[in-house]
Structure 1
Amino acid sequence: MITLPPASAGLGLRRALMDELLAAPAGAFDFLECAPDNWLGVGGRYGDALKTLASQYPITCHGLSLSLGGTAPLDDTFLARTRRFLDEYRVVLYSEHLSYCTDDGHLYDLMPIPFTEEAVHHVAARIRHAQDALGRRIAIENVSYYAAPYQAMDEVDFITAVLDEADCDLLLDVNNVFVNAINHGYDACAFLTRLPSARIASYHIAGHYDEADDLKVDTHGAPVKDDVWALLSQAYATHGVRPTLLERDFNFPPLAELCVELQRIRALQALHLPGASARATHG
């Protein structure tokens, strides 16, 4: 299977960006990420464009509707269709959210899971089921949340326990760590330090909205903030460089502006690659 080099920077494959992605110069980005939920069965112009891009760039996938924390049985038909999609496009990484999004129908939002031992066992069993159905190891993403239904465990302990019991990977969303740290009053760097490096498959980074000094909203609709860039640098220093995706879901600027942010990712990766200090000293 194709793998991504650790020092790689990707961009979300969004239909609003399709023409610019198809016309992008070589090297503008290293990989593209799409939500398979939005592409299953899509044909026509967009289906052809997806095939063209997948023939030129590695594809990763970030699921939206599996509802790993939900109580309804996992949708095995959907999992089977997703597996065919992942195989067809030789997807190098599939991830989903550590949350739930259904309750007698889709909620169209990512809802927080109680941080309890019971929830650890419940979610880990569903992740193992998903991995078996998909025939591959998956990564789960730490999500932003604005209300905590019940916390018998710290967030970082809950995430680590799920990773261990499910034996899956982590997609570390750095912006979500920053947003949650502000909103819930914990130290973002300390949180990062306690995560298991060996489980981290990749990173996400995105912009957010400053509602107030003590309230940040994860939007994916703005440039990445300086404090979040600093936290990404800290993540690289603590856990090592991994493939990193720039998330932008609306308020799209020209692709050239997104590429400036991609170059910032690459610069930070170069700074933290093994031997970077020696190269800088002797360069």
Structure 2
Amino acid sequence: MNRAPPVPSAGLGLRRALLDELLAAPADAFDFLECAPDNWIGVGGRYGEALQTLSSRHALTCHGLSLSLGGVAPLDDTFLARTRRFLDQHGVALYSEHLSYCTDDGHLYDLMPIPFTEEAVQHVAAHIRQAQDALGRRIAVENVSYYAAPYQAMDEADFIIAVLSEADCDLLLDVNNIYVNAINHGYDARSFLARMPSARIASYHIAGHYDEADDLKVDTHGAPVKDDVWSLLSLAYATHGVRPTLLERDFNFPPFAELAAELQRIHQLQSAHATSDGQALHG
């Protein structure tokens, strides 16, 4: 049976460097965990046992890394089938991927931006529909951070909205990516956030980033969440409603108590924007 995270909830990424802390944490330390199936499919031994233990205790969401939805090559049917078995095995209700591509005659080991064109909308939407059919479930796509901007016949918000509509899929709204892109590409983060379709938003991500310069931010997932990003998350809740929210941390792991404090801050913001029935107030 698939288990979705509760609507007001805060989760952590399931990283191997955190396994001991996650296994030892109190049951209420986090509400759900997120993993990349690409890194866990077929894993056995101690790591496989730890994953099975954690997924039996907590709702598990999955965030893919290598489908390459925007790539020119056909999707990997074998990998999609293995991913579906993994999602079914662990009762995963929410699966997401990046609105980007990561292959070009082999893996690029980075998430590359898609040109914002009508042709690209049709191409990536067809891949998303194919992935949804193969996985047997609706998926969400994530707005990504990007540093080079390939040809843009439409702006980023219009492109995302068009893909969601054409593919009939959901959105994983990464609040930190909105902030980073707004600084790097000179648009207003609040206006961008307001244009996202509330009904499509399945969940949120937040993370820390690196301040390279006043006009250059790097999405690292290796630092605490910045105050401006917390403020943008609060605005997201006020505008679109509370959704399950993941704290992303991929390296430079602090003591677990510091991660727990950031999770508690998510809970506090969710409570501030929630009514008695758990739904967010809209301004």
TM-score (norm 1): 0.97
Q: Determine the C-alpha separation between the residues in 1 that align with 2:27 and 2:141.
A: 30
Q: Determine the C-alpha separation between the residues in 2 that align with 1:192 and 1:227.
A: 14
Structure 2 unpaired stretches of 5+: 278-283
Q: Give 1:235 deviation, angstroms.
A: 0.4
Residues 201-236 of structure 1: CA deviation (Å, up to 9, x unaligned): 000000000000000000000000000000000000
Q: Determine the C-alpha separation between the residues in 2 that align with 1:115 and 1:42.
A: 37
Q: Determine the C-alpha separation between the residues in 1 that align with 2:264 and 2:243.
A: 15
Q: Determine the C-alpha separation between the residues in 1 that align with 2:4 and 2:110.
A: 31
Q: Is the 8 A contact 2:3 2:60 kept in 1?
A: no
Q: Match for 2:221: what amino acid?
A: H
Structure 1 unpaired stretches of 5+: 277-283
* Matching residue of 2:193: 192
Q: How does 1:25-104 map to 2 (within 5 A)?
A: 25-104=26-105
Q: Match for 2:170: what amino acid?
A: D
Q: Which runs of 4+ in 1 moved over 6 A?
A: none
* Matching residue of 1:137: 138
Say how many residue pairs are matched. Answer: 276
* Matching residue of 1:22: 23
Q: Match for 1:138: what amino acid?
A: I
Partner-residue secondary structure (3-state), 2:50 = helix
Q: Match for 1:148: what amino acid?
A: A
Residues 91-139 of structure 1: CA deviation (Å, up to 9, x unaligned): 1210000000000100000000000000000000000000000000000
Q: Determine the C-alpha separation between the residues in 2 that align with 1:19 and 1:84.
A: 26
Partner-residue secondary structure (3-state), 1:47 = helix
Q: Determine the C-alpha separation between the residues in 2 that align with 1:122 and 1:274.
A: 40
Q: How does 1:1-283 map to 2 (within 5 A)?
A: 1-274=2-275
Q: Give 1:255 deviation, angstroms.
A: 1.1
Q: Determine the C-alpha separation between the residues in 2 that align with 1:95 and 1:34.
A: 10
Please, what is the CA RMSD of the aligned residues?
A: 0.8
Q: Determine the C-alpha separation between the residues in 2 that align with 1:190 and 1:22.
A: 40
Q: Determine the C-alpha separation between the residues in 2 that align with 1:252 and 1:143.
A: 22
Q: Determine the C-alpha separation between the residues in 1 that align with 2:129 and 2:248.
A: 27
Partner-residue secondary structure (3-state), 1:6 = coil
* Matching residue of 1:280: none
Q: Give 1:5 deviation, angstroms.
A: 1.6
Q: Give 1:149 deviation, angstroms.
A: 0.7
TM-score (norm 2): 0.97
Q: Match for 1:266: what amino acid?
A: H
Q: Give 1:275 deviation, angstroms.
A: 5.2
Identity of aligned residues (%): 83
